[in-house]
């Protein structure tokens, strides 16, 4: 049961901002969370809850992150958990809660209580409605779908996500939820989600700022007759893992495409690093550089700024082995500008909305792909006047 | 002898862009440089040159950083060193060269040669002229002065600096030069400069991007009769160290005040960290956060974003011990919003040009002060169309 019709009015707005998902008995859960040292109560509690591997409900509050609200914030979450558990007859720790929005304002308990009471008794909604209800500064609803064959039975995976600014996930991003009717052992679901996370959410950045609320949860209800997946030896495990990573990648990329003020989606492909992790760090140094991002906003193939970003990344690199390409055209090779470099096709590529930036470090075989967006006046306009 | 009258026209501009400083025999030199893995030839060679401790000349080219130009870049620097050394009769390695400007274009040897020939034979200029000649996107000339009494004799220190964007020095910043007529042992001068650097240049950031050319050099000509300073036991060593740090701090703060697009100068004071270095890292995480910087640009005391930045810093912190103040007014104390928080004086403070942000971590006794500027539409305008 999916419900997002309720307007708890956590902000001064007239829209649905409370989402409730009831999950079948026996649902497995896995999660990845922000590594912020100032994480919200929802995150702190969620980290513990997913260890049990069982979930019966998800509540998402939009408009108030309930982060940095001390014991009052925790009490609000506990109240919601108890109220929902009482209604559906489960353990409170099987009720996962997320909140997103302004930091430092305790979630109002009265609105939360009234909201839950109503949410439990109103009509179903669709995935797009839910994707809209969990959003804050997002400009469009974000969802993804994939399927996999498990022992001859098709299982589906559906995901929704929200996020646009304060995006530099460090093991997770903003709020994302993936639901599947497959039957998956919780420990293995956690392994798959953590692995998918490293290749997807952990490879995106909008502004280098890491949220206090980043959470991605995966729920497997086991409502199909497909055989249970308990490990890599189970039939269909590979197909399910690929489908899960596919959904995660789609969701992660949607967040970047909706990056605050973004006009271009940028793929930064790093190869030749000493390891994949080193490649990812170099990619993020490039993707987080305001000078690289403003150059691309200005449609300027200023690869000197890419050199700068590689140099500051703190990873093994050698100036004289470095090569850089935009849109498949090498501007610099082995530490030198390319002699007969023709900027015309590059200039044309930069006028597009999908920018491909490749960096070859020449140090080893490590590779990674990181996704980001450009930095524009739009970002400044959105963030110089957000809270007030 | 200070000369900056020459127009080498490293860019398509009509202004002085070549500075030449001739230094007395016996001048000591010390330097700190960028830790970029893609540093320019000037930086690579400068690191070696300062180890000898002796300098007779400084050449600064503005408009072309000569970074990422491989062997051709190195040859251009060697040509300049040989030409100047031949003229003044010194070892080429006593000629320090710096270049600043666009990355990836080899310094043109012909213009460099003609420029040096002319620079050696034209009139003297003043410090302000030199500060203008070394500038690129800077909007004003930056200089500082201090003096110290050494064994009853007054010595002077004069510094000039350039820098406005690509400022996140990692042991040094952009191009800065300090000249003193004191007599100082090179090894001790290096110790003092490195120490001053940690409290000054390493505590500023404009955009978190670290240059490939960052260099600060200190020259001590020994032209006064003041006794030579060889270590902390020498008369006046403390006074000289304080004066040197004073000049460095003035110069570093001028760079932030001229940060690209900056409208506000922000001091981030972090206390209660587990160490001074940890405090500095937390301070830089705050000072580099685009969300904190845009909030201040918008004159919004959005301290929730400060919580976020502390959380992502990767340093020991505890949400429930964290306190945050703007302009001396505590908005949050011990992990909770202050109950009777009056935002009026804070709003007034944020309308000013000098913003004071204090963060108490409650973890230990480490402190640091970091300086940055706000992030505005001006930064985007300057950098989305710089190279072309």
Q: For residue A388, is it within any domain?
A: no
Out of A121-130, A219-228, A372-381, B316-325, least confident range? A121-130
Residues A36, B308: C-beta atoms closer than 8 Å: yes
Out of A258-262, B206-210, B359-363, least confident range? B206-210
The pLDDT of residue A384: 87
Residues B291, A207: C-beta atoms closer than 8 Å: yes
Give the gyration radius of chain B's Cα atoms.
22
Alpha-carbon distance of A129 to A4, in angstroms, equals 7
pLDDT above 80: residue B300: yes
Q: Give A36-103 as a DSSP string.
A: -TT--HHHHHHHHHHHH-B-SEEEEEEEE---S-HHHHHHHHHHHHHHHHHHHTS-GGGEEEEEEEES
In this structure, what are the phi and psi dihedrals at residue B148, rounded to the nearest 5 degrees? Answer: -150, 150
Position with higher pLDDT, B84 vs B7:
B84
Domain total in chain B: 2
Helix B276-287 × helix B290-297 angle, to 10°: 60
The pLDDT of residue A171: 42
Residues A387, B70: C-beta atoms closer than 8 Å: no
Q: For residue B157, is it within any domain?
A: yes
Alpha-carbon distance of A165 to A207, in angstroms, equals 7
pLDDT above 50: residue B172: no
The pLDDT of residue A4: 67
Mutate to test the interface with A, among B47, B103, B274, B346 (most CBs of A within 10 A): B103
Alpha-carbon distance of A201 to A220, in angstroms, equals 20
Which residues, in sequence order, are CB contacts of B164 under 8 Å at separation 6+? B136, B137, B138, B139, B206, B255, B258, B259, B260
The pLDDT of residue B298: 93
Statement to judge: residues B283 and B244 lie in one domain: no
Considering only CB atoms, B298 lies closest to which of A68, A288, A385, namely: A385
Mutate to test the interface with A, among B384, B385, B387 (most CBs of A within 10 A): B384
Residue tagged 């501007």 (tokens): A331
The pLDDT of residue B171: 42
Other residues' Cβ atoms within 10 Å of the Cβ of residue A352: 12
Q: For residue B333, is it within any domain?
A: yes
Residues A300, B388: C-beta atoms closer than 8 Å: yes
Q: For residue A109, is it within any domain?
A: yes
The pLDDT of residue B29: 93
The pLDDT of residue B5: 59
Q: For residue A244, is it within any domain?
A: yes
Statement to judge: residues B220 and B342 lie in one domain: no
Alpha-carbon distance of B72 to B161, in angstroms, equals 27
**CATH number of domain containing B352:** 3.10.20.340
Statement to judge: residues A269 and A242 lie in one domain: no
pLDDT above 60: residue B354: yes
Statement to judge: residues A252 and A296 lie in one domain: no
Mean pLDDT across B357-366: 96
Mean residue pLDDT of chain B comes to 88
Structural domain ending residue among the three candidates A213, A230, A257: A257
Tokens of B293: 């910087």
Active site residues of B: 173
Mean pLDDT across A264-288: 94
**CATH number of domain containing A28:** 3.60.70.12
Statement to judge: residues B113 and B215 lie in one domain: yes
Q: Count of residues for chain B?
A: 388
Statement to judge: residues A252 and A312 lie in one domain: no
Model confidence at B4, pLDDT cuts 50, 70, 90, reads low
Structural domain ending residue among the three candidates A257, A283, A317: A257
> Is A173 a known active-site residue?
yes
Residues of chain A neighbouring B214 (CB-CB closer than 8 A)? none
For A121-153, the pLDDT digits (tens) are: 777 788 888 899 888 878 889 899 999 999 889
Statement to judge: residues B73 and B127 lie in one domain: yes
Q: For residue B388, is it within any domain?
A: no
The pLDDT of residue A240: 94
Active-site hit among A173, A210, A212, A367:
A173
Mean pLDDT across A277-281: 93
Sign of CA dihedral B254, B259, B263, B269: negative
Q: For residue B89, is it within any domain?
A: yes
Q: For residue A84, is it within any domain?
A: yes
Statement to judge: residues A189 and A312 lie in one domain: no
pLDDT above 80: residue B227: yes
Q: What is the domain range of residue A376?
A: 265-383
Mean pLDDT across B315-325: 92
Question: How close, in Å, is residue A24 to chain B by CA atoms?
Answer: 35
Give this complex's ipTM: 0.80
């Amino acid at each position: 049961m999916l419900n997002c019709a309720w307007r708890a009015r956590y902000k001064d707005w007239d829209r649905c901002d409370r989402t409730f998902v009831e999950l079948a008995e026996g649902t497995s859960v896995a999660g990845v969370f922000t590594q912020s040292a100032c994480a919200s109560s929802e995150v702190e509690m969620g980290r513990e809850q997913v260890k049990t591997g069982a979930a019966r409900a998800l509540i998402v509050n939009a408009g108030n992150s309930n982060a940095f609200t001390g014991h009052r914030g925790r009490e609000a979450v506990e109240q919601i958990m108890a109220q929902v558990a009482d209604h559906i007859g489960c353990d409170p720790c099987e009720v996962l809660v997320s909140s997103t929005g302004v930091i430092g304002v305790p979630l109002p308990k009265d609105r939360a209580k009234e909201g839950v009471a109503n949410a439990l008794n109103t009509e179903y909604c669709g995935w797009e409605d839910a994707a809209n209800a969990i959003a804050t500064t997002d400009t469009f609803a974000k969802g993804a779908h994939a399927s996999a064959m498990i022992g001859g039975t098709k299982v589906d995976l559906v995901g929704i996500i929200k996020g646009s600014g304060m995006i530099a996930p460090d093991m997770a991003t903003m709020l994302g939820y993936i639901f599947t009717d497959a039957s998956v052992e919780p420990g293995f679901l956690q392994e798959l989600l953590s692995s998918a996370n490293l290749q997807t959410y952990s490879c995106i950045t909008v502004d280098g700022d890491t949220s206090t609320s980043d959470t991605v949860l995966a729920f497997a209800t086991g409502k199909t007759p497909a055989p249970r997946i308990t490990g890599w030896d189970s039939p269909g495990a590979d197909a399910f893992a690929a489908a899960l990573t596919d959904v995660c990648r789609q969701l992660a990329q949607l967040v970047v495409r909706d990056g605050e003020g973004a006009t271009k989606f940028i793929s930064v492909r790093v190869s030749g690093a000493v390891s994949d992790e080193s490649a990812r760090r170099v990619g993020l140094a490039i993707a987080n550089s305001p000078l690289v991002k403003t150059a691309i906003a200005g449609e300027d193939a200023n690869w000197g700024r890419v050199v700068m970003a590689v140099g500051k990344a703190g990873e093994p690199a050698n100036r004289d082995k470095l090569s850089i390409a935009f849109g498949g055209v090498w501007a610099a090779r082995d530490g030198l500008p390319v002699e007969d470099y023709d900027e015309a096709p590059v200039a044309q590529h930069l006028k597009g909305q999908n920018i491909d930036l490749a960096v070859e470090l020449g140090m080893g075989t490590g590779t990674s792909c990181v996704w980001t967006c450009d930095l524009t006046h739009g970002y400044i306009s959105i963030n110089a006047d957000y809270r007030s």
